[in-house]
Chains A and B, each alone.
Chain A
Amino acid sequence: MSRRYDSRTTIFSPEGRLYQVEYAMEAIGNAGSAIGILATDGVVLVGEKKVTSKLLQTSKSTEKMYKIDDHVSCAVAGIMSDANILINTARLQAQRYAYAYQEPIPVEQLVQSLCDTKQGYTQFGGLRPFGVSFLFAGWDRSYGFQLYVSDPSGNYGGWKAAAIGANNQAAQSMLKQDYKEDMTREEAVKLALKVLSKTMDSTSLTADKLELAEICLAPSGEVKYQVCTPEALSTHLVQAGVTQPAAEV
C-alpha cells in the first residue's frame, strides 16, 4: 500500500511518514555499530569494524572515526561512500567558519550545519537521503565536551551516551542502565567496550575488530583526538574483562 509513496523522498505518506528517510535508517541498522559516551574529562567513541579481511590494505588510519577539525571528530555508521561526502562537507564547513570568524566552530553549530545539508536531501531535488548516522564528539569553550547523534532525516540531539548502527536499541538500553553521571574517560572506555561486546555478533572481541578514539584536553589547553593503538586497545579489552589475556606458553 505504501509503495505508491516510496518513490519520491519529497512526498509524505498518508500516515505522515517519509518512507525514504526510514529506509535509509534501515540501511544503517545493518552497518557496523558505534557507541559514544560523554565523560567528565572527555568523550569516548568506539566503533565496530565490519570488514576484517586480512587482504584489506587501507591507507587511511581509521575506518569508523574521522577528524573533522582539531576540536571535533565523528564516528560513522552506514554507507561509507555517503559518509565520505558528508565528512568532506563537514570539514569544509568547519574551515569556512574558522576563516570567517578566526575561531573554531562551536560543536553544535557544525552538527546543525551538517544536518541542514542532510535535511535538504529530504525536501528538495528528488535525490535520496544520505544513508549515514553520525556520532559527533567535540569540545568548545562555551559548553565543554559534547556528544551529538545525527541521522538521515537531519534530526540531531545532544546525548550523554548513545549508540548507532546495528543493534543500537539494545546498546542504548544497556547504556541507559549502566551510565553514571561524572564518569571518567577510563570508566567510559570500559563501559563502551562492555556494551559493544554484548551487542556485537562476533563471539570474541579482538582489537582488530574495533576502533577506539578519545577526545580530551591536553594540559596546554589544546583539544586532542587520540586513536587508540591496537596494542593499547587489547589492554583495554582485557581490563574491561571482555577478553581473556593471551595465554602464557
Chain B
Amino acid sequence: MSIFEYNGSALVAMVGKNCFAIASDRRLGVQLQTVATDFQRVFKIHDRLYIGLSGLATDAQTMYQKLVFRHKLYQLREERDMKPQTFASLVSALLYEKRFGPFFCQPVIAGLGDNDEPFICTMDCLGAKELAKDFVVSGTASESLYGACESMYKPDMEPEELFETISQALLSSVDRDCLSGWGGYVLLVTPTEVQEKILKGRMD
C-alpha cells in the first residue's frame, strides 16, 4: 500500500483560450472504505489563482493552510496578489524544505497571469515543477487522466467547450480507478468570472 493511495484522489487542470479549468473528484476514502463524498481538494489562493492538492488528505489540508499563511503575508507586504509563476516557485520551495521527510501531496496549480495568460503546472511531492501548455494531471487516477486528456484535448478551446472536455476527461478516468470518483468538481476561470460546477458521475 502506497501512502499516496491511502485516501484516493484525481486532479486535472486544462488551458483554454484566455481561460483555464481545474477539476477534482470528491471522494475521501480510508483505503477501501469511502468516508466522504464532498471532499474539497481544489482551494482558492486569490481570485485568479487556484491550487489542487492530491495525495494524502491531511497533507493536502496542511499544505493549503501553510500556503494561505505565506500568501497573506505576501499580500500585506507587497500590496498585490501573487503571480501564478511566483506561487508555483513558493510551493516548490515549501515542498523541498521537507526533502527528507516530505509532504505526501502532489499539487496542481492553475491561474491567470499577466495579460490574462492562463498558467498551469504540477509538481511531485518534492517540488519538481512540470510546466505544461495544455493540461496537467495528478492523483491515483493520473494514468487514466493522461490518456483521456491526450485524446480529448484541443488547444484554444472556448470556456463552454473546455468545461465539457475537462468534465468528460475527469469522469471517464475516475471510473477506471476504484479509489477516486463519487462525483466531480469543476472550476472554470475566465478574466471576468468564475464558475463552479458539481458533476454527477458513477457514485462508486
Residues in A lying within 8 Å of B, measured CB to CB: 60-61, 67-70, 88, 91-92, 95-96, 98-99, 102
A69-B73 Cα distance, complex, nearest whole Å: 9
* B76 CB-CB contact with A under 8 Å: yes
Q: A99-B65, A99-B66, A102-B65 in contact; A60/B73 too (CB < 8 A)?
A: no
Counting chain B residues whose Cβ lies within 8 A of the other chain, the interface size class is under 10
Given the interface contacts A60-B79, A61-B79, does A92 sit within 8 Å of B65 by beta carbon?
Answer: no
Q: Verify B69–A99 contact, CB threshold 8 A.
A: yes
Cβ A95 vs Cβ B79 within 8 A:
no
Q: Is residue B83 within 8 Å, beta carbon to beta carbon, of the partner chain?
A: no
Distance, CA A99 to CA B68, complexed state (A): 8
Across the interface, which residues of A come within 8 angstroms of B66, CB to CB?
A: 99
Bound Cα distance A61, B79 (Å): 8
* Contact yes or no, A98 B76, CB < 8 A: no
Please tell me if the beta carbons of B65 and A91 are within 8 angstroms of each other in the complex.
Answer: no
With both chains docked as a complex, state the minimum distance between the C-beta of B148 and any C-beta of chain A, in angstroms.
35
**In the bound complex, CA of A95 to CA of B73 (Å):** 8
| CB-based contact B69/A95 at 8 Å | yes
Which residues of chain B from 165 to 204 have any CB-CB distance to chain A below 8 Å in the complex?
none
Query: Shortest Cβ distance from A224 into chain B, in angstroms?
Result: 15
CB interface residues, B 47-98, toward A, < 8 Å: 65-66, 68-69, 72-73, 76-77, 79
Other-chain contact of A91, B68, B76, B79 (Cβ < 8 Å): B76
Flag if A95 contacts B65 (CB, 8 Å).
no
A98 to B65, CA, bound (A): 9
How many Å lie between the Cα of A73 and that of B158 in the bound state? 42
Alpha-carbon separation in the docked complex, A91 to B72 (Å): 9
Can you identify 20 A-B contacts, CB atoms within 8 angstroms?
A: A60-B79, A61-B79, A67-B76, A68-B76, A69-B76, A70-B72, A88-B77, A91-B73, A91-B76, A92-B73, A95-B72, A95-B73, A96-B69, A98-B68, A98-B69, A98-B72, A99-B66, A99-B68, A99-B69, A102-B65
Residues of B within 8 A of A92 (CB): 73
Closest B residue to A94 by beta carbon equals B72
Q: Which residue of chain A has the shortest Cβ distance to B65 in the bound complex?
A: A99
Which chain A residues border B79 with CB–CB below 8 Å? 60-61
Q: In the complex, what residues of A have CB within 8 A of residue B73's CB?
A: 91-92, 95
Q: List, in ascending order, chain A residues with CB within 8 A of B68's CB.
A: 98-99
| Distance, CA A223 to CA B170, complexed state (A) | 38
Q: Complex formed: what's the CA distance from A160 to B160 in Å?
A: 54
Q: Within 8 Å CB of A95, what residues of B?
A: 69, 72-73
The distance in angstroms between the C-alpha atoms of A95 and B70, with both chains bound, is 8
Complexed CA–CA distance, A169 and B66 (Å): 44
- The complex places the Cα of A210 from the Cα of B77 at a distance, in Å, of 22
Closest 3 CB pairs of A and B: A95-B69, A99-B69, A91-B76
B69 neighbours in A (Cβ, 8 Å)? 95-96, 98-99
**B72: A residues at CB distance < 8 A:** 69-70, 95, 98
A241 to B: closest C-beta gap in Å: 33
- Of residues 132 through 180 on chain B, the ones whose CB sits less than 8 Å from some CB of chain A are none
